[in-house]
Amino acid sequence: MTQRVQTVAEYIADFVYQEGVRNIFMLSGTGSVFLDDALAKKKGLTYICARHECSAIIMAEAVAKLKNNIGVAVVTTGPGGTNAMPGVIESWVDSTPILVISGQVNTKEIIDDRTFGLQGFNIVDNIKKITKYATTINDKNKIKYHLKRAIYEAKAGRPGPSWLDIPMDIQSQTINPNDLEDFHPPEIKNHIDSASLNNLLSLIEKAKKPIIVFGRGIKISNTKSKLLKLLADTSIPGISARMANDLISFESPFYFGMGGIRGNRISAKIISESDLIIALGTSLGFSFMGDLIKSKINLIVVNIDQKIFERSDLNITCGLKTELNLFFDSINKIENKPQFKNWHEYCLRIKSNNPMVTELEKKDPINSYYFIERIAALTNSRNIITNDAGSSNYICSQAMRLMNGQRELTSGSFYTMGLTLPLAIGASALEPDSQVIAITGDGSIELNIQELQTISIHNLNIKIFVINNGGYASIRDSQDAMCGSRYTDDSQVLDFSKVADAFDIEYEIIKSVTNIDDGIKKVLSNDKPTLIEILCDSNQHMIQPFQEI
């Protein structure tokens, strides 16, 4: 790093660049004015100004998920910081390493526990519960320490967000990098508990129909190749949690799709017949486990997070708290591992005979599952898929068969409405040569519709497919099941042709199943930002994967 006198803000810009950060997401403000200026003028950094602070955080999260490295967002003081909090929560629950840097009022104005000066707020004390590390910088010579520690904490163990709050007077003060206090990460010696490993191996040897359930931890630990080796060596079927839906191509003979309440029928059938679940790097939330929480099926858990082993809702037969790299290195070196070829072949027959989408769904009004199946068929590794909550999330998790290195970004734990657009912007900023397929609902898009302006200004190669099914279809599904079909949501839907015109982006509409393929091919053939409205069946229900097949 350049050894010269510079401002704290300039030092931060140099520091994040040296950490490999190339994209910064912000919404500028007076409280962060020196930070904004330093980051904007730093050569090699590209910045995008969002229309809402929460969106800026989600954009940074998209970068972190795609690159498996720190994502960075900058917000101003007071409402700028509080607006960012929902995005930070999203990063927290999805275990995504991001660094949020907020501006703050001058140090002398920080005199009240409730409000600081003009537009200030005690953001750090309020954000600590949902961050790995959060602090206010009150000593300019500790900026290096706090930056290094914040990034270390964000990426260590189970990742998550860090937050640094920097008063305006500190931002503009000059420093000499040679005088800065340093941070030295603690030395952590991870090991495999041999007794637990032997117990794990014994359970596998006794099993007849084991499955491996893998989650985002495989991505975080960069152990995909080691997972594939274990699957190939043992012929144990692999099933993903939501955040690992794009880890292995659906074409792989060792992958049987996503499990859980909103998974596919193939995985549901296999899980229902299995006698052992080996969970690797996944939190095993209710959306995956469902009624399995009550079952007596043997459950092996390998995870770096101690809290999963303390949960009262999981009947863990064998727990191994360790890094996945150590686990895979230990188990993959074992020769003559148990083989489950007959079970694997049986699962392959289930997979080949039970597609989620068939010709029965090829009809008008358009079935959204059939539409998603066509999107999957007509895209390739150039395309990054983003989606958010509601039916757009469910249909993607159930019908989108990702292949050939395609990536998907979504809300893995919260199923949050409105994430599609900021996720797409973050992905497009990081991978400008990619074409982003943003799939959202006619209700979800309204929660961050202002980011269409960000897409338009930067002329991003994003195709926004809006599923128009007359409002909140997934919520109506729940109201049908639990409230006697009494609906509380509005049925009025936006005129998306006018929306596209207002934000100066292209508009297309697909009204019939007969022009789905031509319509998709048309919009994918160019690099213009485009909003495509898909008129779908408003009475269509979500697929229930645990129905008998």
The pLDDT value recorded for residue 190 is 80
- 373 with 497, same domain: the answer is yes
C-alpha–C-alpha distance, residues 103 and 519, integer Å? 46
Within a domain: residue 266? yes
How big is the CA angle at 501 (ends 499 and 505), to the nearest 5 degrees?
A: 100
Q: Are residues 484 and 507 in the same domain?
A: yes
Cα 544–Cα 513–Cα 373 angle in degrees, nearest 5? 45
**Residues 360-382: tens digit of each pLDDT:** 899 999 999 999 999 999 999 99
- Give the whole-angstrom CA distance, residue 300 versus residue 314: 10
**Do both 369 and 493 map to the same domain?**
yes
Domain that holds residue 348: 194-353
Q: How many domains does the chain have?
A: 3
CATH number at residue 142: 3.40.50.970
On whether both 63 and 154 belong to a single domain, the answer is yes
Buried b (16+ CB within 10 A) or exposed e, 318-347: bbbbbbbebbbebbeeeeebeebeebbeeb
Per-residue pLDDT tens digits of the chain, which is 549 residues long? 445 789 999 999 999 999 999 999 999 999 999 999 999 999 999 999 999 999 999 999 999 999 999 999 999 999 999 999 999 999 999 999 999 999 999 999 988 777 788 889 999 999 999 999 999 999 999 999 999 999 999 999 999 999 999 999 999 999 999 999 999 999 888 888 889 999 999 999 999 999 999 999 999 999 999 999 999 999 999 999 999 999 999 999 999 999 988 899 999 999 999 999 999 999 988 888 776 666 779 999 999 999 999 998 899 999 999 999 999 999 999 999 999 999 999 999 999 999 989 888 999 999 999 999 999 999 999 999 999 888 888 899 999 999 878 999 999 888 899 999 999 999 999 999 999 999 999 999 999 999 999 999 999 999 999 999 985 555 555 666 666 766 666 667 899 999 999 999 999 999 999 999 999 999 999 999 999 999 999 888 888 887 655
The verdict on 328 and 469 lying in the same domain is no
**Tokens standing for residue 468:** 């128009």
Q: Are strands 115-116 and 46-49 parallel, antiparallel or unpaired?
A: unpaired
DSSP string, 273-307: H-SEEEEES----HHHHGGGGGS--EEEEEES-GG
Q: Identify whether residues 144 and 250 lie together within a single domain.
A: no
* Same domain membership, residue 307 and residue 272: yes
Instruction: Please tell me whether residues 324 and 222 are part of one structural domain.
Output: yes
d(CA 347, CA 267): 9
pLDDT per residue over 454-463, tens digit each?
999 999 999 9
Residue 373 included in any domain: yes
